[in-house]
């Protein structure tokens, strides 16, 4: 359940404006329960509209991602070993406590890649096709966010603004623990994962209330992959992360992939 902020504002203390900063999911609910938002949404929730503002709760945007986990050869280790080998984990913790920066517990982060479509796909025609899909999706929209996103693909900015993020993650994404479950045939193996995300997706969702109760969760519709641009872009990212070039510790490209998502 989401936390539910209770906000009290003294109208006499606001000289110019009030900024509602409750986050992407809760700020719209604060406004809507205050009578500010789409009239139809407010009336259906039993809220008396004070200001008909259609944009409230709209344009919800989020990054979408895919991941591929690869099983490493036996002579390579990953953070997963800390999960399945108690002796090794104790040794690494002792090393860390002794101030050894090479301990697995001294690991502080993953490696990140940011690139445009040409760099990511290695294929200029794929980049051209994606740009055409973005043009078709945005069309003649005057929305400033749409126009900026399109400029990232159609102007000189396309060489400098990344469209893709790839995270080289230590471990597996098959489970939240970073390694397969104990009843899996892969338990005891080591992994690394390539997680690919779109930086500027075009799909948009919404978040609205459906009741006047301040304790009720909002209705969240992320509307992921409603744009063809996002669908094809995510497919290109999946293809790019599904076959890392040799030589790599995982052996033949793609031969040990365990969790395409």
Residues 254, 243: Cα–Cα separation, whole Å: 5
Q: Does 72 map to a domain?
A: yes
Residue 111 neighbours by CB under 8 Å, 6+ apart: 167, 168
Least confident of 26-30, 181-185, 240-244: 240-244
pTM of the model: 0.79
Q: Does 2 map to a domain?
A: no
Domain shared by 27 and 79, yes or no: no
Domain shared by 171 and 213, yes or no: yes
Tokens describing residue 7: 């906000």
- The per-residue pLDDT for range 104-125, each reduced to its tens digit, is 888 766 789 999 999 999 888 9
Tokens describing residue 204: 């948009």
- The per-residue pLDDT for range 51-87, each reduced to its tens digit, is 999 999 999 999 988 988 888 888 888 878 888 889 9
Residue 241's pLDDT band (cuts 50, 70, 90): confident
Residues 202, 226: Cα–Cα separation, whole Å: 8
Domain shared by 41 and 85, yes or no: no
β-bridge pairing 191-198 and 65-71: antiparallel
According to the 3-state scheme, what is the secondary structure of 52-87?
Answer: ECCCCCCCECCCCEEEEEEECCCCCCCCCHHHHCHH
Residue 177's pLDDT band (cuts 50, 70, 90): low
Query: Structural domain of residue 129, as residue ranges?
Result: 65-241
Domain shared by 110 and 143, yes or no: yes
Domain shared by 77 and 28, yes or no: no
- The per-residue pLDDT for range 142-167, each reduced to its tens digit, is 999 999 999 999 999 999 999 999 99
Residue 107 neighbours by CB under 8 Å, 6+ apart: 79, 170
Which residue, among 32, 47, 54, 78, has the nearest Cα to 179 in the 3D structure? 78
The answer to whether the bond into 32 is cis (omega within 30° of 0) is no
């Amino acid at each position: 359940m989401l936390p539910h902020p209770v906000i009290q504002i003294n109208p006499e203390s606001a000289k110019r404006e009030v900024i509602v900063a409750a986050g992407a999911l809760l700020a719209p609910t604060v406004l809507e329960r205050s009578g500010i938002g789409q009239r139809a949404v407010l009336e259906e929730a039993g809220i008396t509209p004070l200001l008909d503002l259609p944009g409230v709760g709209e344009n919800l945007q989020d990054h979408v991602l895919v991941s591929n986990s690869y099983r490493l050869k036996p002579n390579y280790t990953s953070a997963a070993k800390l999960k399945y080998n108690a002796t090794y984990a104790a040794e690494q913790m002792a090393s860390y406590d002794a101030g050894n920066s090479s301990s697995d517990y001294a690991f502080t982060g993953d490696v990140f890649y940011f690139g445009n479509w040409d760099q990511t796909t290695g294929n200029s025609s794929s980049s051209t096709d994606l740009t055409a899909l973005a043009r078709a999706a945005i069309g003649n929209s005057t929305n400033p966010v749409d126009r900026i996103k399109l400029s990232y693909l159609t102007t000189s900015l396309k060489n400098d603004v990344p469209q893709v993020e790839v995270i080289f993650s230590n471990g597996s994404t098959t489970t939240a623990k970073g390694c397969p479950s104990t009843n899996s045939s892969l338990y005891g193996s080591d992994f690394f994962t390539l997680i690919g995300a779109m930086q500027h997706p075009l799909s948009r969702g919404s978040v609205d209330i459906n009741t006047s109760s301040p304790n009720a969760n909002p209705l969240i519709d992320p509307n992921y992959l409603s744009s063809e641009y996002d669908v094809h872009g995510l497919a290109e990212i999946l293809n790019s992360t599904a076959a890392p070039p040799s030589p790599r510790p995982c052996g033949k490209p793609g031969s040990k992939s365990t969790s395409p998502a």
